[in-house]
Amino acid sequence: MIGKDPIRDFGEKKLIEMIIKKSESFQTDDKNFLRSHIGDDAGIVAIGNKYLVLSSDMLIEKHHFPKEMTYYQRGFKSVTSNLSDIAGMGAYPIGILISLALPKNLCINEFNDLMNGILEACSFYNSPLIGGDTNEGDELVISGTGIGVSDDENVLMQYGFKNGDLIAISGEIGLSSIGFEILNQGLEKTKKRLIDEGLSSKFIDKSVSKILSPIAKVNEGLLLKESNMITSATDITDGLSAELHQLHNSSNKYSKKSENLGFLIYEDKIPSIAIIKKIAIFLDKDYQDLIFNFGEDFELLFTINSNKFNEFKDYFKDEEYYIIGEVNQSNKIQLSLSNGEIEDIKLKGYEHFK
Amino acid sequence: MIGKDPIRDFGEKKLIEMIIKKSESFQTDDKNFLRSHIGDDAGIVAIGNKYLVLSSDMLIEKHHFPKEMTYYQRGFKSVTSNLSDIAGMGAYPIGILISLALPKNLCINEFNDLMNGILEACSFYNSPLIGGDTNEGDELVISGTGIGVSDDENVLMQYGFKNGDLIAISGEIGLSSIGFEILNQGLEKTKKRLIDEGLSSKFIDKSVSKILSPIAKVNEGLLLKESNMITSATDITDGLSAELHQLHNSSNKYSKKSENLGFLIYEDKIPSIAIIKKIAIFLDKDYQDLIFNFGEDFELLFTINSNKFNEFKDYFKDEEYYIIGEVNQSNKIQLSLSNGEIEDIKLKGYEHFK
């Protein structure tokens, strides 16, 4: 690593690793209220008899907001994105702080729409806006911090799963990437083309809605946490592949015993896999990329204690979820294809800077 | 107000007023843990038997970092700036979250220096980095959220002062604006010119250090809060004039009885006023602008219960502070000049967008 190299040569994951490593050497000893490893979905801090769950997320015009997204949708999404991390830990959101960098040529109507989106989302998640900052910037930046609480320390962490546990997601994945591609290729004409090819307009609309108006699974996260049947969880913001790798790394780093744990995902268990494969061809995309390597799904990825699965099915019967695989002892993250072949799910992720 | 007008025609204060007004109408009724009015230095949230104090601050390359500032100093300042709000409420800082927008041509050395500055500051303030986010952006943006706690609800608010209370600051003001101007006009040549004019190099160095390496008055804020002699406080980040107006507005809005409270500041009580007046001439600046209308002092502005002032002098004798004026019933914010004339301290502030 040479000092004068630009950070674009390193990629976001590498930079975050550097930050984590650096911050560990700087941590003071007397901070015994700190209960988390930096790098999990959120920081956990013991305050009196409660546990505070804190997470920051920054959205930037060019990278996080398709141009078709209204300012209302941008505002709403910024709250969703911050509270999704709180949901991923199964904490109860109590508020959010939002700082804005606003280009000076933004119209007052657009500003109003943006604020309405932020505040409607706060109201939707019952999580008030409790602070923030506004500044002039070259581009729109919405930087938030979500605040959650938990009555006990057993929030959902990214590690803790065991051999045999079931891997589940809280909703369909890949839709946001499909929605993004449809917008990218021109909404009206692409939609028309896909419908002409026999694809359901409902699925197309759902995909576009998923990218423009995503919702954080806050109540689902709370239910999962309260069940005591969940052995790990995270929200899917960086793509399913990146999140599986993240759980795997966390387990290797923080779980008490290493058991060569690995994941096997079954392609045929991915919801709507047939439609996704079909639409991928028409959009000229790799279907695995659509499913695994695009962020912004805002679904929860979690593992269920295999001994409690019958109980879980009853407990979670009114909620949407899909079992997509299982924890094994392969020490690998793999995909079982429809044809029976097994291949590695590589970490491609969703990296800036590179 | 016409929807298509760009926000630069409105100014930051107006936008914040709009946000506050909007957010009030959106607040849900069951959030009885919320103890603050949005618009104070920080949000206050009751968690169990403790009170959480939360504040966000966003720093943007072009507006908050003179080009002479090293990346280490930028990182350190971002933490200072966030914890200054916590200091202004007299809360105990327990951690900070920092999100970064990084231009992709930033060198890895610069990134390292930035992170060292952030982490050294966390260590200095004994307030660990507990989370954050990194992204690629067109310009450097450092967006933080400072987390503080208080054992009781009586944190320092921006209102509560009474007729006769003394107005104080925790250190010299105007130095950061002088330091900024010296950098702006060329450090070496301006310093030489000022020394040739008979100004002390120590004062010049102190001013430059104040703009490049500001420190938040965290311990002072805690001491003030614990004294029970302080009737209001805020940190000075938007200029003394803007902060005086802010206290005045908060008092009118939130104090139980309106008593036409006003402030009278004595020019001759401003520390180093003679030097500031002299240096203002050589820098071709209005000395009042240097004192009142530039932010980034990171000192505390506070009011002392007049009945407890003798006690306060003893309690605070090891700390730096200056009494610069008093609370009266003029309903005005005024300056008593050296020549005995009294004039209004207008709100010029430190506004972006305009």
Residue A354: predicted pLDDT: 46
Closest CA to B333 of B325, B24, A271: B325
A60 contacts B101? CB cut-off 8 A: yes
The set of residues, in sequence order, having a beta carbon less than 8 Å from that of A18 and lying 6+ positions away, is B111, B112, B115
Nearest Cα to B109, choosing from B61, B75, B78, B145?
A: B75
Chain B closest CA to A120's CA: distance in Å?
A: 7
Amino acid at B90: G
Nearest CA to A354 out of A94, A63, A9, A4 is that of A9
Closest listed residue to residue B16, CA positions, set B237, B293, B246: B246
pLDDT at B210: 96
The model's confidence at residue B38, banded by pLDDT at 50, 70 and 90, is: low
Whole-angstrom Cα distance, residue A276 to residue A290? 8
3-state secondary structure A312-333: HHHHCCCCCCEEEEEEECCCCE
Which residues sit opposite B8 in a β-bridge? Answer: none
Q: Report the pLDDT averaged over residues A94-121.
A: 94
Give me chain A's average pLDDT, please: 91
* CA A227 to centroid of chain Cα atoms: 21
Mean pLDDT of B97-122: 94
- State whether A104 and B137 contact (CB < 8 Å): no
- pLDDT band for position B349 (cuts 50, 70, 90): low
> With contact defined as beta carbons under 8 Å apart, do A231 and A165 qualify?
yes
For residues A75 and A327, give the distance between their C-alpha atoms in angstroms, rounded to a whole number: 37
Of B153, B206, B158, the closest CA to residue B182 belongs to: B206
Query: B147: which strand partners?
Result: B54, B95
Nearest-angstrom CA–CA distance, B90 and A253: 38
User: Are the CB atoms for B155 and B225 separated by under 8 Å?
Assistant: yes
The predicted structure's pLDDT at residue A15: 80
Helix, coil or strand: residue B328: strand
Neighbours of A222 (CB within 10 A): 20
Nearest CB neighbour to B131, from listed A6, A56, A104: A56
Closest residue of A to B44, CA-based?
A130
Instruction: Provide the pLDDT for residue B41.
Output: 67
User: What is the pLDDT confidence band of residue B12, given thresholds at 50, 70 and 90?
Assistant: confident
Strand order in the sheet with A50-60: A43-47, A50-60, A141-150, A92-102, A129-136
Residue range A265-287, pLDDT digits in tens: 999 999 999 999 999 999 999 99
Q: Which of residues 109-128 of A touch B (CB under 8 A)?
A: 109, 111-112, 115-116, 119-120, 122-123, 126, 128
Instruction: Name the token pair of A352.
Output: 């800036």
Measured between alpha carbons, how far apart are the two ends of chain A, in Å?
15
Q: Assess contact for A136 and A101: CB atoms under 8 A.
A: yes
Min Cα–Cα distance to chain A from B276, Å: 29
Whose CA is closest to A53, among A35, A32, A39?
A35
More confident residue, A353 or A145: A145
Q: Does residue A254 carry a pLDDT above 50?
A: yes
pLDDT of residue A97: 96
Q: What is the pLDDT of residue A221?
A: 97
Give the residue-averaged pLDDT of A205-210: 97
pLDDT of residue A107: 93
pLDDT of B269-284, one tens digit each? 999 999 999 999 999 9
Report CB contact under 8 Å: B47, A149.
yes
Q: Which of residues 60-89 of A touch B (CB under 8 A)?
A: 60, 62-63
Select the residue from B14, B119, B133 to test the A interface by mutation, using most A Cβ atoms within 10 A. B133
Give whichever of A62-66, A263-267, B125-129 has the largest mean pLDDT.
A263-267
Query: Rounded to whole angstroms, how far apart are CA atoms B268 and B324?
Result: 8
Strands B141-150 and B92-102: antiparallel
| Chain B: closest CA distance from residue A167 (Å) | 26
| Strands B262-266, B333-336: pairing kind | parallel
DSSP helix/strand/coil, B40: strand
**Whole-prediction pTM value?**
0.92
Mean pLDDT of B63-81: 95
**Residue A248: which of A347, A174, A319 has the closest Cα?**
A347
Is B22 near chain A, with CB under 8 Å?
Answer: yes
Dihedral, CA of residue B319, residue B322, residue B326 and residue B332, to nearest 10: -120
Taking residues A95-107, report their average pLDDT: 94
Residue numbers in A near B353 (CB within 8 A): 102, 104, 136
d(CA A191, CA A204): 7
What kind and span of H or E run contains B86?
helix B71-88
Which chain A residue shows the shortest CA-CA distance from B18? A112
pLDDT-above-90 percentage for chain B: 75
Q: Which domains are assigned to chain A?
A: 33-150 (3.30.1330.10), 166-344 (3.90.650.10)
- A38 vs B: CB within 8 A: yes
B155-200: pLDDT as tens digits: 999 999 999 999 999 999 999 999 999 999 999 999 999 999 999 9
A83-96 mean pLDDT: 95
In total, chain A counts a number of residues equal to: 354
Alpha helices in B266-308 (DSSP H): 273-282, 287-292
Min distance B295 CA to chain A CA atoms (Å)? 14
> Does the pLDDT at position B337 exceed 60?
yes
Q: Tell me the average pLDDT across B134-146.
A: 95
pLDDT confidence bin for A41, thresholds 50/70/90: low
For residue A4, which amino acid is it? K
To the nearest whole number, what is the mean pLDDT of chain B?
91
Task: Tell me which residue has tokens 């429809």.
Answer: A338
- Name the more confident of A45 and A223: A223
Residues 6+ apart with CB under 8 A from B109: A3, A4
User: Would you state the pLDDT for residue B13?
Assistant: 74
pLDDT recorded at residue A271: 97
Percent residues over pLDDT 70 in chain A: 92
Longest dimension (CA), chain B: 65
Q: Is the pLDDT of residue A38 over 70?
A: no
Partners of A107 in the beta sheet? Answer: B6
Res A57 pLDDT > 50: yes
The two three-digit tokens of residue A106, written as one number: 């933004």
Res. A35 pLDDT band, cuts 50 70 90: low
- DSSP 8-state secondary structure symbol assigned to residue B138: S
Cβ atoms of A275 and A294 closer than 8 Å? no
Cα–Cα distance, A175 to A177 (Å, whole number): 5
Query: According to the 3-state scheme, what is the secondary structure of chain A?
Result: CCCCCEHHHCCHHHHHHHHHHHHHHHCCCCCCCECCCECECCEEEEECCEEEEEEEEEEEHHHHCCCCCCHHHHHHHHHHHHHHHHHHCCCEEEEEEEEEEECCCCEHHHHHHHHHHHHHHHHHCCCCEEEEEEEECCCCEEEEEEEEEECCCCCCCCCCCCCCCEEEECCCCCHHHHHHHHHHCCHHHHHHHHHHCCCCHHHHHHHHHHHHCCCCCHHHHHHHHHHCCEEEEEECCCCHHHHHHHHHHHHHHHCCCCCCCEEEEEHHHCCCHHHHHHHHHHCCCCHHHHHHCCCCCCCEEEEECHHHHHHHHHHCCCCCCEEEEEEECCCCEEEECCCCCEEECCCCCCCCCC
**Contacts for B219 with CB less than 8 Å, ≥ 6 apart:** none
HSE (side-chain half, CA atoms, 13 Å) at B264? 14
Q: What is the dihedral of CA A306, A309, A310, A316, to 10 degrees?
A: 170
Mean pLDDT of A179-195: 96
| pLDDT over 60 (residue A310) | yes
Contact B264, B328 (CB under 8 A): yes
Q: How confident is the model at residue B354 (pLDDT cuts 50, 70, 90)?
A: very low
Q: Looking at the complex, does the CB of residue A45 fall below 8 Å from at least one CB of chain B?
A: yes
